[in-house]
Structure 1
């Protein structure tokens, strides 16, 4: 048997040495997964011991995290908008910043709920499925270029009881689409190509570059999406795009250059401009 508290202390030290931010929190998350317990369950086990199987599982997870693999891909899921999403190496990890997209959708459409929602570059499906959870009469379509990411989104829709209102398809942005939508959501790749090698190891090594690389200036996907938006958005519809730090002015100018009406540049909880809201004139 293995002393639980000693194992947790050792793991925290190991992660701190590896440069992991919040090493005790990260170690606790992995330990809870190793012993199949929530925080209450972990508290009840403190002062006790781990079985050999639990100890081995925990050590393996700590080894991976010390190698800078994200905790979300180690344990295979991440919470977003109070919903639990499966996460794999084929998808971006849902982040709190992206919840600003859902907050903005609710602010603009709470009194006029959308009937048809489109999510471009759906990944885990977190934006689409969070929106469907808030708009119970809506149907949604999620599109992703990666077949494996689309599989993850489809699985998440089923796990969350939303498969009957969500369709996931493999495709390149709007290339295969003909219909119009009341609400369009997208968190496209927006990292400039040359910046990717300088990203945190958790991102650069373990998240799919297909979902990160936005071209030379990070704006290539927006150029494609903005151009087709008038054909995909219903009159009076709303489109919300997540973007990177400092990209707001360039995106505003880009949207206006193709006759889109900029409604808002919404800030995230850290105070950074994060979401562009547009309609078409």
Structure 2
């Protein structure tokens, strides 16, 4: 029996990964297929084949990195999001399934027949903006990020996907946006973890960019800024939607209500947890509410 045969490499790696993941065989297969530059089906078709020395060494390095906690997405250099294959690096957050709900809701809150202008704040890998553009090529989307490395990755992903309808802009939230160009919808997955949250020392969060995760003592600093300023950039009747932590729904809805947004709501993810808050912007009503 050759210990370096594909079948045995997977078996050995799966045993070594069993303490760090709930899916050790799947992750072992993904890492080995990546090192071989082959689809996973190749592993099942040729289980007795022996990779060359460099491929075996690279695989062992990948397995060791995973045992140390490195996210699989960073080791593979990619993550699928809403059917799109996106490249990711430690300069960007890893797109997560729950954020797909944010994209779905954003699309539902846009006019179906007419083109519309959309703003995404903190685009990271470009996942949200590119997923929306893929579904609705007629949308005029501006996607911002303060990180140059993140913007470079988002632009790279757009090129790889053949999407040219997203305009990427270096901006600290709204700071670089031109005046007089309101949006029908603003969407964001901002940092929303409290600075002292112990989860920052666990799992994938240990390796992701802290500036994209942490937002003040209660995790709401970025959300406060977005809620307070978004109205200046929304058309009358425009929508603001953003993702937040499972225990932040009531606080986020209160912020929206205090800022004068209408139709404020908090939506739950597939796990039944508060995940998205949204509100509709009516300048006149908000002005009257503030005056009253």
Distance in 2, Cα, partners of 1:243 & 1:199: 19
Q: Does 1:184 align with 2:180?
A: no
Note the residue ranges of structure 1 that are not aligned, 5 or more in a row: none
Normalising by structure 1, we get a TM-score of 0.94
Question: Are 1:214 and 2:222 counterparts?
Answer: no
Cα shift at 1:113: 5.2
Contact 2:31 2:59 in 1 (8 A): yes
2:24 maps to 1:13: no
Which residue matches 1:170?
170
Instruction: Find the aligned partners of 2:172 and 2:123 in 1 and give their Cα distance.
Output: 11
Question: 2:253 maps to which residue?
Answer: 252
Cα separation, 1, equivalents of 2:50 and 2:242: 48
1:25 is paired with a residue whose SS is helix
Write the mapping of 1:71-220 to structure 2, written as runs, cut at 5 A. 71-109=72-110, 111-112=112-113, 114-162=115-163, 164-177=164-177, 178=179, 179-195=181-197, 198-204=200-206, 206-220=207-221
Q: Hey, what does 1:277 align to over in structure 2? A: 278
Aligned alpha-carbon RMSD (Å):
1.6
Find runs of 4+ consecutive structure 1 residues off by over 3 angstroms. 196-199
**Contact map agreement 1:145 1:170 (CA 8 A) in 2:** yes
Secondary structure, aligned partner of 1:235: strand
Alignment-derived partner of residue 42 in structure 1: 43
How far apart are residue 197 of structure 1 and its match?
5.9
The answer to whether the aligner puts 1:241 opposite 2:221 as a matched pair is no
Residues 39-80 of structure 1 show CA distances to partners (whole Å, capped at 9, x for unaligned) of 322211223322222211211110111110101111111000
Distance 2:201 2:270 in 1: 21
> Unaligned regions of 5+ residues in structure 2, if any?
283-292
- The TM-score, its normalising length taken from structure 2, stands at 0.90
